[in-house]
Amino acid sequence: MYYQSRRSPVLGVNGTVACSQPLAAQIGIDILKQGGNAADAACHSSSTECY
């Protein structure tokens, strides 16, 4: 199935965060940059999307 998105894909080397909201993705990236793990980034990103 081919899905065409209006957004360009972004590739990462040291970590990846996928969210529907850019702000939530940025928060997840910031958590990873500060030394957090995937669970930390997921919790913070998902709580941002719910806000």
pLDDT digits (tens, 9 = 90+) for 5-18: 777 777 778 888 88
Is residue 50 in some structural domain?
A: yes
Is the pTM of the predicted complex or chain greater than 0.75? no
Give the list of residues 6+ apart from residue 46 with CB closer than 8 angstroms, or none: 24
Give the list of residues 6+ apart from residue 42 with CB closer than 8 angstroms, or none: 28
* CA separation for the pair 41, 5 (Å, rounded): 24
CB count within 10 Å of CB 2 equals: 3
Number of domains in the chain: 1
Range of the domain at 50: 18-51
Is residue 41 in some structural domain?
A: yes
pLDDT in tens, 1-51: 667 777 777 777 888 888 888 899 999 999 999 999 999 999 999 988 776
Is residue 33 in some structural domain?
A: yes
* CA separation for the pair 36, 42 (Å, rounded): 10
Is residue 1 in some structural domain?
A: no
Is residue 2 in some structural domain?
A: no
Is residue 6 in some structural domain?
A: no
